[in-house]
Amino acid sequence: MLGRRLLAPLAALVMLTACGTDQAAGPSAEKSLILATTTSTQDSGLLDELLPAFTAETGWQVKPLAVGSGQAIELGRRGEADVLLVHSPAAEEKFVAEGTAGQRRLVMHNDFVLVGPSADPAGIRGVPAAQAMQKIAAAQAGFVSRGDESGTHAREKQLWQQQPSGSWYRSTGQGMGATLRVASETSAYTLTDRATYLAQKSSLALEILNEGGKALLNIYHVIEMTKRAGERVQPDGAKAFADWMVAPRAQEMIGRFGVAQSGQPLFAADAGKDEASLGS
């Protein structure tokens, strides 16, 4: 009997240890969540501002995975992320309709801009964005694409009338910061979110040559994942992050982010707004 009484707590300890190991191997450990997000939120420096404040206020640690929006959505689909912060609306809507995600909420927006060498060999200044893309193609002026199924790449593909080909068009398969550097080094055009461009402007030989209009609007949403995507998803952490992102504290931080460095905000805070009115 004594041996049985000693073995019972030992067995319980082994089970607890095993459970803890299994949970740590999953996408999120207790009070630690995985955020799958676009590279623009990292390359612009926004995550460096927001995540420490979120952790300080809620106790949740965040592991960010900065990938293209398409990859971020795929991580959510596989139950390998707890919450998403992405900017590819058509892909997001299709994903949410599948039924494994929870709430999708408007967080912020900025815009896409076409940047390139100051000489502007394709002459894209001051024309509508789609026309600017056709002028680049007609001139076969160098263009660098992310080519990574990100939100930026999705918008680029919408702007082309047909997928370009030829030596003048190249894909990096990388994030926005790396793609901007390649475009700068090769005196080529690229499509970028304004925030990442402004954050890295001082190191780039690129200018904003084309901007404005709803075609270049860049809208970000936060999407909570649920256990329908996988048992290891932590919906409590997802909801905590999503709630915090649309609350006044985070919205105020988003609205002033970049002012000190760039002289202008890099994002507009949009929680609670009518999305159809953005950019008008």
Q: Is 212 left (phi over 0), alpha (psi -120 to 50) or beta?
A: left
Pairing outcome for strands 268-269 and 101-116: antiparallel
Residue of higher predicted confidence among 11 and 196: 196
All domains of the chain in start order, with CATH: 29-109+219-271 (3.40.190.10), 111-216 (3.40.190.10)
C-alpha span between 147 and 171 (Å, rounded): 5
> Is-contact 145 190, C-beta < 8 A?
yes
| C-alpha to C-alpha distance for 107 and 94, rounded to whole angstroms | 19
pLDDT of residue 4: 32
Angle, alpha carbons 129-116-266 (nearest 5°): 75
The DSSP annotation for 102-115 comes to EEEEEEEEEEEEEE
pLDDT in tens, 126-178: 899 999 999 999 999 999 999 998 899 999 999 998 889 999 999 999 999 99
Residue 36 pLDDT = 98
> What is the mean pLDDT of the segment spanning 106-128?
96
Q: Which residue intervals of 201-271 are DSSP H helices?
A: 235-245, 248-256, 259-262
- Per residue in 18-34, pLDDT (tens digit) is 333 343 344 455 699 99
> Given this model, what pLDDT does residue 22 score?
42
Percent of the chain topping pLDDT 70: 89
Question: 11 pLDDT exceeds 70?
Answer: no
The per-residue pLDDT for range 222-231, each reduced to its tens digit, is 999 999 999 9
Looking up tokens 């929870």 gives 102
CA–CA separation, 34 and 41 (whole Å): 15
pLDDT of residue 279: 74
pLDDT at 264: 87
CA dihedral for 59, 256, 39, 161, sign (positive or negative): positive
Strand (E) or helix (H) holding 65? strand 61-67
Say what the alpha-carbon torsion angle 238, 239, 244, 248 is, to the nearest 10 degrees: 150
47-100 tens-digit pLDDT: 999 999 999 999 999 999 999 999 999 999 999 999 999 999 999 999 999 999
Decide if pLDDT at 14 tops 90.
no
Residues ≥6 apart with Cβ < 8 Å to 232: 23, 26, 27, 28, 79
Please report which confidence band the pLDDT of residue 274 belongs to, taking 50, 70 and 90 as the band edges.
very high
Specify the pLDDT at position 262: 82
pLDDT score at 145: 97
